[in-house]
Structure 1
């Protein structure tokens, strides 16, 4: 192997490395937990194709408590990983969504969008929108997936994502305001430590790695230049911050931008002290991670709890 073959083009230590010869090494999100019935929570999961031609797929979860003909809120989850790593099938995300389904008593669809650099932006957004359209295709009792037809309440839909997945959630909610998701009522979105550009409009090398032709005025990474923001396709937004997260100021910038956009919904900001980016994934049983989960569960079940 020549020295040029081993030259690093991009590194996100200790999780990811890409070489200039096109090789990629992913040290996070590449393990696979088989879909099954979880022995602790009794949550059932299975993998389904969404767009067979491109390989876009999802892992679907239902709680053990679901009864025949019972309709539960539907959560569509988008994983993080900088757009270049992560998977619904890896242990961190499989376990996290399993816990969310068990605690919130919801149906969940965890989306497996294609990753950079093999598939550069905007592929991740296009795959995510295709997944939402596929979910919406089940609203009228049609569509191929029985679990969605039998158990999902399409009038109580939430989008949830962390890091890059939080960015995708925001962009999907914006797109839902201008494009048709007929039959779906998007009640709220939750952004967990979302990935955006800086307040000055500049972006970092991670974004330029996954979107090399992007400019600093790209509305996908800089919500301040998105004219559609005031029409965000939901009435409630929950944003989680972490005190030690180096993306914290960008997340606050997103919140400030949304509040000043003219959007008339409810924005709630929850900050966890003493924690860093993605702490809820890497130490899921910690007190602070459980507190975050409890707040997310409350957000999803807010309407139900108010009616009890």
Structure 2
């Protein structure tokens, strides 16, 4: 076989992916993984589970340190990772460490979802996978599901969704679907959108490639501002984080404004971090501003 043919590039989207003419996909970032642990500092435990053998959808589940004989149920956090819909996973060091902190500070049970990624699985497959994973988690609402941590410790009247970047976009779409289609026996209180990927006003070759059925940069599945169903968002509280130097800043702010005016019967807050760029808190988790962001996420959950 001519090795030069196998190395010929068909699509190149740095810093995320490179696709070769033979169909091979090279992920340029976000490939490192670490195993689940019992964190020695926070006492947070984690383990990996498979949700669907057919699709390969899976998750890493987190449990905070439980007081002996405690029967108190804890809020449930559904977390959706970012990475331009095509890189990263719940098993990456960035996300594992981030979830440890959130679970510890907010005192929640968390399900961090691993959806199938583009381009092998183009959008909206990631949305469908996340919905499937949520339904799996919610099947534990009467304590009859397959996962003991959810049966014993999760309060399905206090459910939150959170995500960063592309994960924030998915989180919004999940709560929209809850509002439009309904959800029995589970109450989603709020969503936390960290530096949401709502695109920009320009056509995107990358978006066209990973989301071929999209109608463009204003498709409501990417940018919800023009969505006729926005007022039916299926939660009562929304917290949006934006970063001053993030190229996605403008659309994050406009989402906040449009949601306020949509007729939706809820409250939306926005927090802007000055002097920082996109998902800075994942790459520099020990800085004061990252600490502030995690504390604000935790207080949003604990105060509701």
- Normalised to the residue count of structure 1, the TM-score between the two structures is 0.93
Tell me the residue number matched to 1:241: 242
Measure the CA separation in 1 of the matches of 2:297 and 2:76: 14
RMSD: 1.5
Partner of 2:104: 102
Structure 2 residue matching 1:178: 3-state secondary structure:
helix
Which segment drifts farther, 170-179 or 222-231? Answer: 222-231
* SS of alignment partner, residue 142 of structure 1: coil
Cα 1:8/1:244, change in 2 over 3 Å: farther
Aligned in 2, Cα 1:163/1:66: closer, same or farther, shift over 3 Å?
A: farther
Q: What is aligned with 1:218?
A: 219
Answer whether contact 2:43 2:64 (CA < 8 A) is retained. Answer: yes
Aligned partners of 1:133 and 1:181 also within 8 Å? no
Confirm or deny: 8 A CA contact 1:197 1:203 kept in the other structure. no
SS at 1:170 equivalent: helix
Structure 2: how far apart are the matches of 1:275 and 1:8? 34
Secondary structure, in 3 states, of the residue corresponding to 2:185? coil
**Aligned counterparts of 2:197 and 2:21: Cα–Cα separation in 1:** 25
Shift of residue 225, structure 1, vs aligned partner: 3.0
Offset of residue 128 of structure 1: 0.4
Unaligned ranges ≥5, structure 1: 304-308
Counterparts in 2 of 1:196 and 1:160: CA distance versus 1, 3 Å: same
- 1:273-284 equivalent positions in 2, closer than 5 A: 273-284=274-285
> Aligned pairs, how many?
300
How big is the shift at 1:259? 1.6
Q: Deviations over 1:256-286 (max 9, x none)?
A: 2212211121110000000000101001110
Residue of structure 2 equivalent to 1:207: 207
Contact 1:161 1:190 in 2 (8 A): yes
Provide the residue aligned with 1:30 in structure 2. Answer: 31
2:148 match: 146
Q: Aligned residue for 2:294?
A: 293
Give the secondary-structure state (helix, strand or coil) at the position aligned to 1:158.
Answer: strand
Q: Is the 8 A contact 2:75 2:108 kept in 1?
A: yes
Q: How is 1:63-102 mapped onto 2 (pairs within 5 angstroms)? A: 63-67=64-68, 68-102=70-104
Query: Residue 50 of structure 1 contacts residue 131 of structure 1 at CA under 8 Å; is this kept in 2?
Result: yes
The equivalent residue for 1:186 is 188
